[in-house]
Structure 1
Amino acid sequence: MSESPRDLSHLRLPHHPSITSRQAYTYPKPIGSDRSNPPRNRGSHASKLRSDLSNVLGALEQERNSSASEVDVVGEPGFYLDVEFSVSEKDKVLQSIENLRGKAKIELMSVSVSPNSNEYLEATLFVPDSKKNDFTKKITAYENEETKTGKPKNETLVSRIESFFLSSVTSLFTDEKSLFPQDQSVLVWWEVWLRGDRKESFDEITERLDVRVQPHSVKFVEREVVLALANVVQLGQIIRKCDAIAELRIAKDLPSFFFENNELEQQEWMNDLLNKCVFEKSPSVSVCLLDGGVMRTHPLLEPSLSEDDMHSYEPIWGTHDTREGHGTNMSGLLIYGELCEALVSNQKIEISHCLESVKILPPQGENDPNLYGWIMQQGISRAEIQAPFRTRVICMPVTSEGANRGTPSSWSAAIDDLCFGRDKISDELVQRLIILPVGNIRDAINREDYIANNDSASAENPAQSWNALVVGAFTDKVNIVDSKYRHWKPIAPAGDLSPRSRTSCIWSRHWPNRPDVVFEGGNLATDGSCAGEVLDDLSLLTVHHKVNQRLFTLFSDTSAATAFAGCFAAQILVQNPDFWPETVRALIVHSATWTAAMRKHLPAAPQQKDKSILLRRYGYGVPSLEKALWSAKNDLTMIVEDGFQPFQKKENQSNVTTKDMNLHTLPWPKKELEALGERDVEMRVTLSYFIEANPGERGWVRRYSYPSYGLRFATKDATETLSAFKKRITKDAHEEGETVSFKKDKGWFLGTELRNRGSLHSDIWTGTAADLAAKDAIGVHPVGGWWKERPTHNRWNEQIRYALIVSIRVTGEGADIYTPVKTLVKQTLAIELKT
């Protein structure tokens, strides 16, 4: 049965009390008892720990005596201490391990798996000399004193500690352990994560030790990241003489690309395409490409890429394409989308956005070791200074190889900060939409196990970014018509993952799902005797960078998919130039669906682990531009852009608590839905917001949370009153002594655990029209982050914003749910104008 055409504008809901109301919010934590302390023999345990600390202080004194002739101490005198404890006790230990009172304080630097056993963790602390006896005092009090309730003093902390050790360079190394240099005398580039206010001390000590440090840094709230060329011995000297270093990682942000060339195409194709195109004279929407430069003299690029919009991170590099055509290849797809379709089209083609190019890769080789977060910041600022009036999509098809399990890097965190948009000088916010690839597999691909290969190939840096839109590749290209390859078979079936696209299947469950969505990235083929190879028929057509040799070439993989996503986002902004970046990201995800080939991997009764693999392999599926731009009579999309203050610190209180939430009572087509009765319907909800990053490997619990805050959505259940719904989601709506049911809202495909990763949450509810008629309210409320847990940074009084997309879909003909909602919205707007 056919459905209604998509030719109706989405409905943007106004800021009106009848639709959105601000509510006081306190998270209704369920009542439960803390985990009991581990059973210990107080005397023997205290004696063992005191012995550990005595050994630590003895070794420290010996080291200091042997290095007395070296450089003087820089910064606050102190030492690094490793505290070993069970993985199961992580939360309790990290919440109580620091002594933050007074001017000098013990500070947690990092948390990593103990080299002794995977069942234990090591927390590395910096302990000022003035606090070196603090742990001994706590242990002695644990052994000899009781609290008012008769329990040993300091039991929560001391009983959970297994051992103390004097820290080494490896203690601060939070990267994959296999990457740590075996030869301690070899100079390598390190990514050095400094404590937030210790850069000056670090510069002083490295100058004394003749350690080379790159001049640029990337700053975060509590960390500053620099690159230093040093060996392990030199780093050991630094941590003994300076209090600056919080973490160490290997510097590995070196991008790699695939470049492809193919046959010459006819001049007539290009001329015909140019005659069909209508180019906007002064576009207000642009796609800013961060790549290896663009050859703008190509006739298909020249109308959309002004010479004034060609930039370079290093002016001596020039702005033209010197990376074997990658930037030029990207440009063709960013402007025209699927170029083959444009070439054969018989209709006029409107090109309403323009292109900006920022060259962030050198003409040959790789950049000198530097921080790509810094390079991106500088590159984007060049485009923004040149054309501050434009609304832009930022597209960067650059990734780096190396092990990645989802932990944020300095590069991915810098991207999160660029999206969040806090100006470090003015403190003003200018949010940005940044699109990244999930990365490509570079090894040989075999047909038999290709999906398993994808699942084990981790998404590359900087795809860990929470705020960016991260793009993978799928493919519909399976037709091989070239007679030379008639016996060849495509690797991927139609609608499934492109053979080289990476996934986040091996990431820990608390990291975001990557990719967010997938776009066409081409396919590979094999004759059965070889690994997958690139064929013309299974690739994508784009422009060639050597115009004097050929006009067209082939392109593929996640770079091509990222270019399609950039063009897609630009088209949304052309039609809706005032949409927030969070809204555009939400619409792209909201419009995506899993193909039949993707769903085929799910069993008949999928478990949560099956759905998790689906998300981490394909994201939310393949976006539809038609769905992102238009509603239909039977498929209505409502858009809310709103915000509130998530936290507060009341007078005379030191702790930060939650403050507000928004309750959206939507203009719901109740009568029309009730009339449909038991007919099947679906509702989709997507919530998109940008977090402010606070990176550093410190365990990611409570005080050391990476995101500034989180948001969650909850929908009114079909059997609930509005009052009961409020009581379910916020403690402030409860009456004293009242018990409230915390039953889960049923009917969602993913559920809260899977959809609540990262800073973009989307899910689909299915049920009857009669039940949907009563689900007319959505609450958006905050959950904790470092804004709440780190009150000293004074972020607790900040406002946040989000985009909320809600769609209702009734399958088949004969249902008009769009018209009644549009009428209600018009009536609300009329009332708003009168008041």
Structure 2
Amino acid sequence: MADEQGRPHPHIYLQGTGARQGYTAYQAGGDGGGELPQRDRVGHANALTQALTEVVQQGETVLANRDANIAAGEKGFYVEFTLPLGQADIVDKLENRQGRFPIELVNVHPGEEGQVSATVFVPEAQKDYYLKKVAAYRDDDNVTYKTLDDGSVEERRKPKNQRLIASIDTARLAVARSFYTDQVDLFPAPGVDAWWEVWVRKGTKGSFGKAAQALGMATREHTLEFAERDVVIAKGTPEQLGRVIANTDSVAELRLARDTPSLFMGMDGAEQRTWSADLAKRLVPIDGEVPAVCLLDSGTTISHPLIKPYLLPVDQQAFDAAWNTEDVSAQGHGGHGTQMSGTSLYGDLMELLDGTGPIVVRHRLESVKILPDHGANAPDLYGAITAQAIARAEIAAPSRPRAICLAVTSLGDHGRGRPSAWSAKLDAITFGRDEVQRFIAVAAGNIRETIVAADYPARNDTMPIESPAQAWNALTVGAYTERTLISDPTYAGWNALGAAGDIMPRSRTSVSWIREWPLKPDVVFEGGNIGHDPATGQGDHVDDLALLTTYRTIAERPFTTTGDTSAATALAARMAAQIMAEKPTLWPETVRGLIVHSSEWTDAMRANQATIGKPALVRRYGFGVPSLVRALGSLDHDVTVITEDAIVPFKMKGGKAVTDELAVHRLPWPREALLALDPAALVQLRITLSYFIEPNPGERGLSRRHVYASHGLRFDLKHADESLDTFIRRRTSEAGARPAKRAASDVGWTIGPQLRNRGSLHADIWEGTATELAARDAIIVYPTGGWWRENVSKGHAGEAVRYSLIASIRAAPGTELYTEVAAQVAAGVAIEV
């Protein structure tokens, strides 16, 4: 990082230079799914027939007893199927979407050990559907014929519907617990009122509302709308929800509604300092419109001399218009918003105290209070609160670029990485259908329990990231620390718990998530450290190890200290606003991509890789620590090219959605300069692909049309020993016959495609010789499947999606690369395919 003092060259920005071509993925072959369980065909069929007959009889009883005051929607009942865990990827086959009375899979969740439960809604007209499927499995065969090498013909038989029926263990009529996908041990006892997140099937929100009202269940005003689900909040007992399920077709999934978001708070204030007035005199006023950091927090203190110059009264608001917009709560979260304000404007104020010159801040502040001063928000959809809070800021200044900062997180059973209603709403907000795309930085969350030295850093890996930080499109921010010096004599004998350059002891990670979910956090920023008392083995806050920031009660003192992932997230939002101030027209996808692309792991982080492994390295530290100077500038020997572009991932063909386009990006590499280097010299290529997905939440598994993401994008780098034509043919069947498989793998990647291709942000580093890099001069961006492709009824085939592709080459200092790259771009060389 010796080059961090200055990067004199601007990055090279391109717009829409990818050459679009038709894209048809090569077929992998096979019917998918794991090996079928071994079944006694007749015995299994008879057992399922008995179970399903009982289900139908019970369902008929339920339908006969429908309460006219509650009943609404399509007449039918719900069936819960149990399958071996290894067969979870066939749950889509339980559906029958054809005809007037479709059968819909509504949720999938873990069952008993080694099993998975899948619940479907069966219309009355389809009540015998599964019985017929089982009968065909028992009595009928599918017959195929294969010609053998000797010319004879072999007849092959297998039971009809074998893939589906052999995968089912048993079935039963669904009850309220069949819809519950939250933390198992928190399911309320019979007769106990609780607030629920009720995920209802699309178009049935009115049916649920009618039933809830008839049963005297309280409901909240706000709802969330997604492609196939709406989410409402309701208070009631499991029995009341059971009656809703029995009398309507509305319920798809149940989760508990959390009482309130939680913050890690309680930091002690620093000693009173007397330099606030001097700092305020050094502030340079903002000239004209500039980007903003939009804080969604506990409010802020607009009269603070370090906040007032950058916060207009019109930009200080609250989610509830009746609330006081100031940061005045006496609760634990009181003061947090003002602390975040100082950090998002200035970073660590300690870095300014020793200076004497002017202080230039090129962005302003917006504050929207989302936490009440008294009591707690009634259980509600915090996704709706977040969306409305952002809307207030945007209405006040509709054309202003902004970095939205959310350091409010919620406890919850999100250890597996699954989306919550809140995180899905963040994904929808950033995607911006029919609106605008948005940049959001969200805190990974903090460990709230007592920190014990013996548990560090292993405990960070077992404490999963909190909601809504599992959002795919948001920049999820963890915390690391460089602060290890304690000078306060009060803490004589203490030392810093976290090692310099390593994870902050309270920061959460995604190491414990299942592998399919995104790599989180995306990056880590400074979050301070924890002091460690060797006498007790426990840790505590020490001001020397924290960041200095603004305090809300000015009459008492102007400064306090802050830290943890809250401070780290404020720093991330500040960096985003600084990038926007430098390049106001950049897409939010690009701003997020630049922050990640500029990140590097510290020596301490890299030293841990041998012990924890590559997947845990990324899931603990993200892609490392960002650098503003790397994000904004290039060097002679370290050149960054940024392309903003779009492709259409899917199109309709023969009544189905299929892949449509890929984009070929010719890279303006400095070929002559690279070939002039020592053939053995190693160089580095860094690639980041950033895009936003449209979410489709609901606990229905990850297979086929029930995937969460609308689409995926991937990048592929041309190999040094293949032509551009061969490279394109290797990726798409539309380019002709596929070239022969390569004997050697594409080595040299730090992360590799199996690990990096999670979520909606993919970054990796390749290292090899300069000679090889000179020939690796093209990148293909291509689509992968998503619910836009699998659920054609939503009509998204044919829509274009944006992406940002960032590529950097780095050679040894003293190597001149930038001049040749800039000259090629100016001449339009190496861009056309």
Q: TM-score range by the shorter chain?
A: over 0.9
Deviation at 1:216, TM superposition (A): 1.2
Question: What is the alpha-carbon distance in structure 1 between the residues aligned to residue 66 and residue 634 of structure 2?
Answer: 74
> Are 1:587 and 2:594 an aligned pair?
yes
Aligned match of 2:123: 128
Matches within 5 A, 1:361-440: 361-404=371-414, 405-422=416-433, 428-440=434-446
Report whether the alignment pairs 1:620 with 2:631.
no
1:719 maps to what in 2?
721
Correspondences of 1:191-340 after superposition (within 5 Å): 191-252=197-258, 254-257=260-263, 258-267=265-274, 269-323=275-329, 324-340=334-350
Deviations 1:660-683 (A, max 9, x none): 010001111011101112211100
| Whole-angstrom CA distance in 2 between matches of 1:31 and 1:59 | 41
Relative distance call for 1:750 and 1:68 in structure 2 (3 A) is closer
**1:73 Cα deviation from its structure 2 partner:** 2.3
**CA displacement, residues 308-346 of structure 1 (integer Å, 9 cap, x when unaligned):** 111111122110002421100000011111211122223
Shift of the 628–248 alpha-carbon distance from structure 1 to 2, 3 Å rule, reads: same
State the Cα distance separating 1:445 from its structure 2 match.
Answer: 0.7
Question: Residues 742 and 39 (structure 1 numbering): CA distance in 2 closer, same or farther, change over 3 Å?
Answer: farther
1:154 to 2:161 alignment: yes
CA distance in 2, matches of 1:235, 1:742: 59
Aligned to 1:425: none
Tell me what 2:149 maps to. none
**2:77 aligned to 61, 79, 89, which one?**
79
Judged with a 3 Å threshold, the aligned counterparts in structure 2 of structure 1 residues 510 and 37 are, in CA distance, closer, same or farther, namely: closer
Shift of 1:118: 1.8
Matched, 1:694 2:696: yes
Q: Which moved more, 1:726-735 or 1:573-582?
A: 726-735
Question: TM-score if structure 2 supplies the norm length?
Answer: 0.95
User: 1:800 and 2:811 equivalent?
Assistant: no
Return the alpha-carbon distance in structure 1 between the equivalents of residues 225 and 473 of structure 2.
17
User: Is contact 1:499-1:523 (8 Å) kept?
Assistant: yes
- Work out whether residues 544 and 551 of structure 1, in 8 Å CA contact, stay in contact via their aligned partners in 2: yes
* Post-superposition offset of 1:139: 1.2
Q: Structure 1: how far apart are the matches of 2:566 and 2:617?
A: 22
Shift of 1:707: 0.2
Identity of aligned residues (%): 45
For the 8 Å contact 2:682–2:770, the answer to whether it is kept is yes
Instruction: Specify the code of the residue in structure 2 equivalent to 1:419.
Output: T
Tell me what 1:489 maps to: 495
Count of residues in correspondence between the two structures: 810
Question: Of the candidates 681, 684, 697, which is equivalent to residue 682 of structure 1?
Answer: 684
Q: CA deviation at 1:453?
A: 1.0
Q: Provide the C-alpha distance between the structure 1 equivalents of 2:70 and 2:639, rounded to a whole number of angstroms.
A: 69
- Aligned-partner residue type, residue 412 of structure 2: G
The answer on 1:611 being equivalent to 2:614 is: yes
Q: Does 1:51 align with 2:34?
A: no
Residues in 2 aligned to 1:253 and 1:581: alpha-carbon distance in whole angstroms = 32
Is the Cα–Cα contact under 8 Å of residues 139 and 158 in structure 1 kept in the other structure? yes
Equivalent in 646, 650, 657 of residue 647 of structure 1: 650
Partner secondary structure for residue 805 of structure 1: strand
Partners of 1:689 and 1:2 in 2: CA distance: 31
Measure how far apart 1:15 and its partner are: 3.6
Tell me which residue corresponds to 1:118. 113
Structure 1 residue 272, shift from structure 2 partner = 2.3
Q: Give 3-state SS (helix, strand or coil) of 1:279's partner.
A: coil
User: What is the match of residue 540 of structure 2?
Assistant: 533
Q: By how many angstroms is 1:447 displaced?
A: 1.5
The match for 2:133 is: 138
Q: Which of 167, 183, 189 in structure 1 is aligned with 2:195?
A: 189
Q: Which residue pairs with 2:447 in the alignment? A: 441
| Separation in structure 2 between the aligned mates of residue 383 and residue 33 of structure 1, nearest angstrom | 50
Question: Judging changes above 3 Å, is the alpha-carbon distance between structure 1 residues 374 and 14 closer, same or farther for their aligned structure 2 residues?
Answer: closer
How far, CA to CA, are the matches of 2:831 and 2:179 in structure 1? 61
TM-score using structure 1 length: 0.94
In 2, Cα distance between equivalents of 1:744 and 1:21? 26
Aligned pair 1:546/2:553, yes or no?
A: yes
**Residue 107 (str. 1) matches residue 117 (str. 2):** no
> What letter matches 1:729 in structure 2?
R
Query: Which residue, 729, 736, 740 being the options, matches 2:731?
Result: 729
Are 1:253 and 1:399, in contact at CA under 8 Å, matched by a contact in 2?
A: no
Which stretch of the first structure deviates more once superposed, 253-262 or 159-168? 253-262
Letter in 1 for 2:96: N
Distance 1:386 1:742 in 2: 59
- Kept in 1, the 8 Å contact 2:59–2:76? The answer is no
| CA shift for structure 1 position 263 | 3.9
Cα separation, 2, equivalents of 1:187 and 1:831: 63
Aligned twin of 1:822: 822
* 1:458 alignment partner, one of 454, 461, 464: 464
User: CA separation of 1:296/1:721 partners in 2, compared to 1, >3 Å: closer, same or farther?
Assistant: same
- Residue in structure 1 matched with residue 752 of structure 2 by the alignment: 751
Cα 1:231–1:53 change in 2 (3 A) is same
Deviation of residue 160 (structure 1)?
Answer: 1.6
* Aligned partner of 2:708 among 684, 706, 709: 706
Kept in 2, the 8 Å contact 1:190–1:249? The answer is: yes
Choose the corresponding residue for 2:522, options 501, 516, 541: 516
Partner of 2:657: 656
- Tell me, in whole angstroms, the C-alpha distance in 2 between the residues paired with 1:744 and 1:729: 15
Partner SS state of residue 532, structure 1: strand
Read off the aligned partner of 1:768 and give its amino acid letter: T
Q: Is the 8 A contact 1:728 1:742 kept in 2?
A: no
Give the corresponding residue for 1:671: 672
Q: Which amino acid aligns with 1:26?
A: T
Q: CA deviation at 1:38?
A: 4.1
Residue 161 of structure 1 aligns to a residue whose secondary structure is: coil
Deviations 1:248-275 (A, max 9, x none): 00011622220334244333x2222223
- Whole-angstrom distance in 1 between the partners of 2:606 and 2:686: 18
Which residue type is aligned with residue 211 of structure 2?
A: I
RMSD: 1.9
Query: Alpha-carbon deviation of 1:196?
Result: 1.0
Identify the residue that residue 353 of structure 1 maps to in structure 2: 363
- 5+ long unaligned stretches in structure 1: 423-427
Mapped partners of 1:512, 1:625: distance in 2: 24
Judging changes above 3 Å, is the alpha-carbon distance between structure 1 residues 656 and 217 closer, same or farther for their aligned structure 2 residues?
Answer: same
Instruction: Check the 8 A contact 1:3/1:811 in 2, yes or no.
Output: no
Hey, what does 1:636 align to over in structure 2?
639
Q: Name structure 2 gaps, 5 residues minimum.
A: 145-156
d(CA) in 2 for partners of 1:282, 1:742: 59
Residues 667, 831 of structure 2: 8 Å contact kept = no
2:605 matched residue in structure 1: 598
Contact 1:53 1:136 in 2 (8 A): yes
The DSSP-based 3-state class of the residue aligned with 1:691 is coil
Aligned partners of 1:681 and 1:811 also within 8 Å? yes
Amino acid at match of 1:732: E
List aligned pairs for 1:3-82, cutoff 5 A. 5-16=6-17, 20-32=18-30, 37-63=36-62, 67=65, 71-82=69-80
Match of 1:167 among 174, 183, 189: 174
Match of 1:804, SS state, is: strand
Q: How far did residue 403 of structure 1 move?
A: 2.4
Q: Which residue of 1 aligns with 2:154?
A: none
Which whole-Å CA distance do the structure 1 matches of 2:776 and 2:574 have between them? 35
* SS of residue paired to 1:561: helix
String of CA shifts for 1:694-747, please: whole Å, max 9, x gaps.
0000011111000000000000111111111111111212328x6444864211
Q: Is the 8 A contact 1:284 1:389 kept in 2?
A: no
In 1: Cα distance, 2:553 partner to 2:360 partner: 26
Deviations 1:28-55 (A, max 9, x none): 2334465665443332221111100111
Q: For structure 1, which segment, 468-477 or 822-831, has the greater mean C-alpha deviation from structure 2 after superposition?
A: 822-831
